[in-house]
Amino acid sequence: MKTVTPETFAAQAGGPIEPLSGAIVPPIHLSTTFERDPDNAYSKGYIYGRPDTPTVRMTEEVLNRLEGGAATLLFGSGMAAATALFLSLERPAHIVAPKVMYWGLRRWLAEQTAAVGLSVTFVDNADLDALRAAIIPGRTRCVWLETPSNPTWVVSDIAAVAKIAHAASAIVGADSTVSSPVITRPIEFGADVVMHAATKYLNGHSDVVAGSLTFKAKDALFERAASVRRDIGAILAPFEAFLLMRGMRTLHVRVRHQTASALTIARHFANNGRVAEVLYPGLANHPGHEIARRQMPGGFGGMLSIRVAGGEAAAIRTAAHVQVWKRATSLGGVESLIEHRASIEGPTSPCPPDLLRLSVGVEDVGDLIADLERALIANA
Active site residues: 50, 102, 175, 200
Instruction: Please return the burial class of 138, using the count of CB atoms within 10 Å of its CB with bins 0-12, 13-18 and 19+.
Output: exposed
Element spanning 211, H or E: strand 211-215
Closest CA to 337 of 74, 108, 150: 150
3 state SS of 3:
coil
Count of Cβ atoms closer than 10 Å to residue 76 Cβ: 18
CA–CA separation, 229 vs 361, rounded Å? 32
CA–CA separation, 268 vs 59, rounded Å? 38
- Name the DSSP letter for residue 266: H
Count of Cβ atoms closer than 10 Å to residue 69 Cβ: 26
CA–CA separation, 213 vs 195, rounded Å? 5
The two most distant CA atoms of the chain are separated, in Å, by: 76
365-379 helix and 312-320 helix, angle to the nearest 10 degrees: 130
Q: Where are the alpha helices (DSSP H) in the chain?
A: 6-11, 54-67, 78-87, 103-112, 128-134, 158-167, 180-183, 220-232, 238-248, 251-269, 289-295, 312-320, 341-345, 365-379
CA–CA separation, 197 vs 77, rounded Å? 6
Contact 176, 184 (CB under 8 A): yes
Q: Report the relative pairing of strands 93-98 and 275-279 from DSSP bridges.
A: unpaired
